[in-house]
């Protein structure tokens, strides 16, 4: 009887410890969610007007973010997102607006026209990553200016290795040794921005920046605009007068080629968004199995598999930055290539 009591007491502790280890990989507030009833997976993946870090007991630890609204009749309105919840964290209307469960601000007056310019969690995380990236780049530039003949060490050696890798393995093979200098700043910025945000998104309580389709759309549009603005005469001639194709096929080939201009950025947008978001959903689903099944064996299986998925996401974080940069270089190389 005593042995049975000891085992029944130790089992929940064992499950809790294993669940805690896995939860720390994906977010500290997953323990507070009930996987059987709450949509905590989408809560971790989607954007929000407040930055939720953890939940201790029934008290969420949240950083309110600024709400910025503009309407023709009221002008600019600025207040904290904490105004939309009461002391018990229940929804609360404020100044004629309310925040829905899907993190959308709506006016209580259906006829009111306003524009939401708020700083959401993804926007705040993106600004932080940009500042961090600028600090690293400026610090590296100052080190090279002070000691141009001294080989870097440690972190700075790794940074130089990555820069040389982008130049030698991505830019030069696709753009050539001369034209790569023109587009290297863009390719480096794109590579490090995506990679840094992919890595930061793996931290507990972090935002899912590169898993937001709006952000991946803008990144893809950068490549689309830069590619077509720098398109050579041969590039546009290949679209509107495809060589080796009979004239009578032009009404078919020209629309197909024009459609290809838009499918390229579309593929860039979907590939980055889908891979990063799918990784988060799979890892959070593995965590959810522990709470749904409430079994020692579920924790024993989920923890190692979740740790493996986390390590795999580290590889995917680099791989997606590499693929996005590589495809951008290929599209740019095809646009600036001169006909021999």
pLDDT in tens, the chain (340 residues): 343 433 344 444 544 444 444 444 444 444 434 433 346 677 678 888 888 877 776 777 788 899 999 998 889 999 998 888 877 778 889 888 998 888 889 898 888 889 999 999 999 999 999 999 999 999 998 988 888 888 888 899 999 999 999 999 999 999 988 888 899 999 999 999 999 999 998 888 788 899 999 999 999 999 999 999 998 888 887 888 777 777 777 788 888 888 888 999 999 999 999 999 988 888 888 877 777 777 777 778 888 888 888 899 999 999 999 999 999 999 999 888 876 5
* Residue-level pLDDT at 301: 82
Tokens of 293: 């099944």
Tell me the angle at which helices 250-293 and 213-229 cross, rounded to the nearest 10 degrees: 160
Buried b (16+ CB within 10 A) or exposed e, 277-312: bebbeebbebbbbbbebeeeebbebbbeebeebbee
Token pair recorded at residue 72: 């023709």
pLDDT reported for residue 283: 83
Measure CA of the first residue to CA of the last residue in the chain; give whole Å. 87
Q: Which of 185, 178, 272, 256 is nearest to 221 (CA)?
A: 272
The residues pairing with 60 across neighbouring beta strands, listed in sequence order, are: 55
pLDDT at 27: 42
Q: Distance between CA atoms of 38 and 43, rounded to whole angstroms?
A: 9
What residues form DSSP beta bridges with 189? none
Cβ contact 47:212 at 8 Å: yes
Note the pLDDT of residue 10: 44
From the CB of residue 262, how many other CB atoms can be counted at a distance below 10 Å? Answer: 10
Q: How far apart are CA 97 and CA 108, in angstroms?
A: 6
SS3 label, residue 312: helix
User: Any idea where the domains of the chain sit in the sequence?
Assistant: 66-118, 121-336
The answer to whether 192 and 317 have CB atoms below 8 angstroms apart is: no
The per-residue pLDDT for 5 is: 38
pLDDT of residue 144: 87
pLDDT at res. 13 = 52
How many other CB atoms are found less than 10 A from the CB of residue 334? 17
What's the rounded Cα separation, in Å, for the pair 142 and 25?
35
Residue 317's nearest CA partner among 283, 267, 266 is: 283
């Amino acid at each position: 009887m005593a042995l049975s009591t000891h085992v029944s007491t130790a089992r929940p502790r064992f499950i809790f410890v294993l669940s805690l280890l896995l939860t720390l990989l994906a977010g500290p507030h997953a323990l507070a969610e009930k996987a059987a009833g709450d949509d905590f997976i989408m809560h971790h993946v989607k954007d929000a007007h407040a930055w939720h870090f953890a939940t201790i007991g029934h008290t969420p630890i949240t950083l309110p973010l600024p709400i910025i609204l503009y309407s023709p009749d009221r002008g600019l309105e600025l207040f904290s997102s904490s105004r939309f919840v009461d002391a018990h964290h229940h929804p609360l209307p404020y100044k004629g607006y309310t925040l829905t469960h899907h993190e959308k601000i709506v006016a209580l007056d259906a006829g009111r026209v306003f524009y939401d310019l708020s700083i959401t969690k993804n926007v705040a995380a993106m600004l932080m990553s940009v500042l961090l990236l600028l600090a690293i780049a400026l610090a590296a530039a100052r080190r090279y200016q002070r000691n141009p003949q001294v080989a870097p060490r440690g972190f700075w050696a790794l940074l130089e290795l990555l820069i040389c890798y982008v130049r030698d393995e991505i830019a030069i093979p696709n753009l050539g040794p001369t034209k790569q200098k023109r587009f290297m700043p863009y390719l480096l910025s794109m590579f490090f921005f995506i990679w840094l945000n992919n890595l930061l998104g793996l931290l507990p309580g972090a935002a899912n920046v590169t898993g937001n389709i709006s952000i991946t759309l803008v990144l893809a549009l950068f490549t689309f605009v830069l590619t077509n603005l720098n398109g050579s005469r041969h590039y546009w001639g290949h679209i509107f007068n495809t060589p080796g194709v009979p004239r009578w096929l032009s009404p078919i080939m020209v629309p197909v080629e024009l459609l290809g201009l838009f499918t390229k950025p579309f593929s860039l947008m979907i590939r980055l968004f889908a891979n990063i978001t799918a990784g988060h959903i799979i890892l959070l689903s593995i965590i959810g199995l522990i709470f749904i099944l409430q079994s020692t064996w579920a924790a024993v299986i989920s923890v190692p598999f979740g740790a493996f998925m986390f390590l795999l996401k580290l590889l995917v974080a680099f791989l997606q930055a590499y693929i996005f940069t590589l495809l951008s270089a290929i599209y740019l190389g095809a646009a600036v290539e001169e006909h021999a």
